Structure 1
Amino acid sequence: MADDKLQLYLTHRAALVDYAAPIVGCRARAEDVVQEAWLRFSRHDDAADIRHPASYLYRIVRNLALDQTRRSATEKAQPGGDELLAELPSSTASPEQAVSQQNELAAISRALEELPERTRLAFEMHRLGGFTLQHVATHLNVSVSLVHQLVHDALRHCLERLEGEP
């Protein structure tokens, strides 16, 4: 079973990094998230029944990426950090833009959590993981047109939640 886990990880590693990068904001942190996900995934009890190991691995990556984003936001709010940050040249968004982007990311994360599992997974695999509709359809054992509809529904749901955010 350990070899199966390793093969699954190696097969999906690049897509997992691509999946985590937009959430954490850079590829280097995404690499760290994927590595941590592998450690957690590999230590998982082989006797436990995981019906969709790839989906489980994507969920670990998503959760770790969101945790890291929250942790980074908290670390930025540390006392004395403003003076240090003010001395560094900025190549990123303004503080207002960063807060707005973090709020949008949090709203999208909440919106994705509200979705049914299959809809969320189809969206994450296609839009965040870079998988083709055909690959997602094969993975979920549904038609390509249904995957297209699921992704569309997820996008619409996220947009509605973003428009409803203050």
Structure 2
Amino acid sequence: MSPDHSLDLFLRHRKALINYARPIVGDDARAEDVVQDAWLRYVRFAEKQAFILNPSSLLYRIVRNIAIDARRRQSREVNGAGAEMVLETTAEGSAGPETATVHKDELRQVMTALKELPERTQRAFHLHRLDNLTYSQIAAELGISQGLAHSLVAAAMVHCMKRLNQKQDMEK
């Protein structure tokens, strides 16, 4: 695909891509950064390929992957002990006594936040984060598309992170 065609694709889908990334990363500025990075990655990939079957689908997949990576980095940097760390530490059983107490409280907050979500979203989150199923396995288990499985897990993670952030803001 020529650089001109890549740019046309990017410009046609830019706003929708930002809207797609926003719920994952949390705001417009980060979503724009993700989309810009995705386009650059797409161009590098497209230069090496003679033909891309579904360019827009590939671009959306790249945006999703970069957005998820960005959200994970952000949750580790900003929250230190955010929902992901709580779940990972709890699953590993590696926390010390003080850390375990903090994580237990945060895990309770995450569990409460999850109960606020629709049952299907809760189930997708549980299958991915606790049962370590892939998005395609979750899709098969729930009878949904792989993209929807990803969206449900991402929505649950964003919701839990917002609840943890609200709690932390109230304690300050």
Could you say which residue in structure 1 is the equivalent of 2:22?
Answer: 21
Unpaired segments ≥5 residues, structure 2 = 82-105, 115-120, 157-172
Q: Distance in 1 between matches of 2:12 and 2:126?
A: 27
Could you say which residue in structure 2 is the equivalent of 1:113?
Answer: 135
SS at match of 1:50: coil
Deviation at 1:44, TM superposition (A): 1.6
Could you say which residue in structure 2 is the equivalent of 1:11?
Answer: 12
Q: What CA deviation, in whole Å up to 9, does each residue of 1:92-145 have, x standing for no partner?
A: xxx746x957x96x92894782237x9335x5xxxxxxxxxxxxxxxxxxxxxx
Q: Distance in 1 between matches of 2:32 and 2:126?
A: 22
SS at match of 2:47: coil
Deviation at 1:78, TM superposition (A): 4.5
- Bigger helix share: 2
Q: What CA deviation, in whole Å up to 9, does each residue of 1:26-55 have, x standing for no partner?
A: 111101100110111112243413211100
Deviation at 1:77, TM superposition (A): 4.6
How much is the aligned-residue C-alpha RMSD, in angstroms?
3.8
Q: What CA deviation, in whole Å up to 9, does each residue of 1:54-99 have, x standing for no partner?
A: 00000000000000111011113559xxxxxxxxxxxxxxx746x9
TM-score, normalised by the number of residues in structure 2? 0.51
Tell me the amino acid that sits aligned with residue 18 of structure 1.
N
Q: Distance in 2 between matches of 1:44 and 1:51?
A: 13
Could you say which residue in structure 2 is the equivalent of 1:52?
Answer: 54
Tell me the amino acid that sits aligned with residue 145 of structure 2.
T
Aligned residues: 109
* Distance change in 2, residues 1:39/1:109 (3 Å): farther
Percent same amino acid at aligned positions? 41
* Distance change in 2, residues 1:77/1:5 (3 Å): same
SS at match of 1:28: helix
Could you say which residue in structure 2 is the equivalent of 1:82?
Answer: none
SS at match of 2:75: helix
Unpaired segments ≥5 residues, structure 1 = 80-94, 124-153
Tell me the amino acid that sits aligned with residue 28 of structure 1.
A
Could you say which residue in structure 2 is the equivalent of 1:73?
Answer: 75
